[in-house]
Amino acid sequence: MARRQIIIDTDPGQDDAVAILLALAAPEAIEVLGLTCVAGNVPLELTARNARMICELAGRPDLPVCAGCDRPIGRDLVTAEHVHGQGGLDGPDLPAPRMPLHADHAVDFLIDTLRNRAPGSVTLVALGPLTNLATAFTRAPDIVGRVREIVLMGGAHSTLGNVTPVAEFNIHVDPTAADIVLRAGVPVVMAPLDVTHKALVTPARNAALRALGTPVGRAVADLTSFFERYNPARYGGEGGPLHDPCTIAWLLCPDLFTSRAVNVTVETQSDLTLGMTVMDWWGVTGRAPNAKVLHDIDTDGFFDLLTERLATL
């Protein structure tokens, strides 16, 4: 079976970092063409730094890492240092990166890569706000039909929001971009809070990662133990959720997840519900489904996959 070619669009973030490592730990199944960075969890300068730190941790300083959009479309940037720490990767003590940023802007890298690869061969994995993707689609509409699919972490349904009463962070940061992407007509797989809040890093799961005894295993244990300290009461006291790696796990083993094809729209106007993902779960609007929404997960299988794969780095 041919390897899936992906570009990871990201704003690392502890959970972004684990997702990137998981992708790099599956070279027989996934070919990472590059990382495109966007402002989100922390400002762009830090997300671009953090992405390179993770590449070097994985022994992949050869990967193109491109800095992209430093603010959302038409609004001020909202960041999440209260969750991820001031640097975005608080937890492990990782050295500053030595690898340079790629010369291309992330949007140009997305456009050029999609134009130069066979149509339908490149999957976009979006782990942060969708600003880079929306900007690329708007600037170069010809690339939209060349995307195989978009696998994104974002949105919420019955779980409701984590940054406002109804909005998940990635969508809330740039709801206009999310609206553009969801309306583009590209096949979308969405991992919302409804599924990621079930992927909890319990103390036992964290200990299994640390017991790998490798630099990657120790770093991931440090990343996840820092991340779970954020508002543990929200998740029942078991641990913190590992959001972004659900996207890569779906690519590697979709049978770990239960999904439903539904129509998803994004609220872009209301101050009260800005960034809300309105999911037509029961098909009451008559609008055609535009996303495969993951809503359940084999959590033990997910963490077995994560631990087994990370042991290879």
Instruction: Give catalytic residues, as residue numbers.
Output: 243
Give the Cβ contact number of residue 289 at 10 Å. 15
Q: Phi and psi of 265, rounded to 5°?
A: -120, 160
- How remote is the C-alpha of 40 from its chain's centroid? 11
Structure tokens at 147: 């995307």
Residue-wise over 187-218: b if at least 16 C-beta within 10 A, else e? Answer: ebbbbbbbbbbbbbbeeebbebbbebeeebbb
Torsional class of 184: left (φ above 0), alpha (ψ -120 to 50), beta (otherwise): alpha
